[in-house]
Amino acid sequence: MPTPHIEAREGDFADTVLMPGDPLRAQFIAETFLDDVVCVNRVRNMLGFTGTYRGRRISVMGSGMGIPSLSIYAKELITEYGAQRLVRVGSCGAVRDDVGVNDIVIGMGACTDSGVNRTRFGGHDFAAIADFALTRHTVDAARERGTRVKVGNLFSADLFYTPDDAFFHTLQRHGILGVEMEAAGLYGVCAEFGARALTVCTVSDHILKHEALDAQTRQTGFAEMMAITLEGLLRDDQEPSHD
């Protein structure tokens, strides 16, 4: 059962795993939002925890940065530990005028410059999309809390330091809500191995306006994103249809 990257034993993970990029954010989420928390992975310091949220067993584990790192963990969580729902809870950069720092965006789809989904999909374009019911339940949870979220396309970049700034204007023109580095990979892995996926991000910086949150806030400052994600999962438990 343990893999080269995860030391947990069978049953240590819940069927639902939250995946921030930052393992210290995973620890913060576990300690802040979950009860009865147990640490289930320390390999490579990619911290993983299992606890309960309002009585519902939930795990949280870092994915690392970028699609290759996330793909290893997501695949193993599904095929070795039985994960059925993987929700990335990340940070992203904005390019649109109407998306600002601290806004919450939900990745209904994710474009990418990565080749991983073509590799797994016979060389063809793969439409990397979130699970619809999970998306709907999270949006409903946000509405009930009075929290505004934007739902649409993310862009999952291989390079954090994009060599050509003009590309950000292309992303803006195409309505991209946020630039991050994992969602398209998560959606591809979950499609291939049969799990349901969603990405919820808090905007940590505006790339074109040169505004940014500091590293500490990216580690511990995303409470509202966590609240709507966790409440969305409880709603999804009550109506788990794949509509």
Ligand X SMILES: O=P(O)(O)O[C@H]1O[C@H](CO)[C@@H](O)[C@H]1O
Among 24, 43, 65, 208, indicate the residue that binds ligand X (CB under 6 A): 65
DSSP E strands: which ranges in 21-119?
Answer: 35-41, 48-53, 56-61, 85-94, 104-112
Among 182, 192, 205, 236, indicate the residue that binds ligand X (CB under 6 A): 182
- By DSSP bridging, strand 196-206 and strand 104-112 are antiparallel
Tell me the chain's radius of gyration from C-alpha atoms. Answer: 17
Of 17-25, 102-110, 141-149, 185-193, the segment contacting ligand X by CB under 6 A is 17-25
Tell whether 179 is in a known binding site.
no
The CA distance from 186 to 20, in Å, is 12
Q: Is 164 designated active site?
A: no
Inter-residue contact 49 to 30 (CB < 8 Å): yes
Q: Which of 12, 22, 103, 205 is catalytic?
A: 205
Hey, what amino acid is at 243? D
Q: Does 20 bind ligand X (CB under 6 A)?
A: yes
Assign residue 67 a region (left: φ > 0; alpha: ψ between -120 and 50; beta: otherwise): alpha
218 binding partner (options ligand X, ligand URA, none; Cβ < 5 to 8 Å by kind): ligand X
Q: Does 112 bind ligand URA (CB under 6 A)?
A: no
Binding site for ligand X (CB under 6 A): 20-22, 65, 90-91, 160, 180-182, 218
Binding site for ligand URA (CB under 6 A): 91-93, 160, 179-181, 204-205, 207
Residues taking part in catalysis = 205
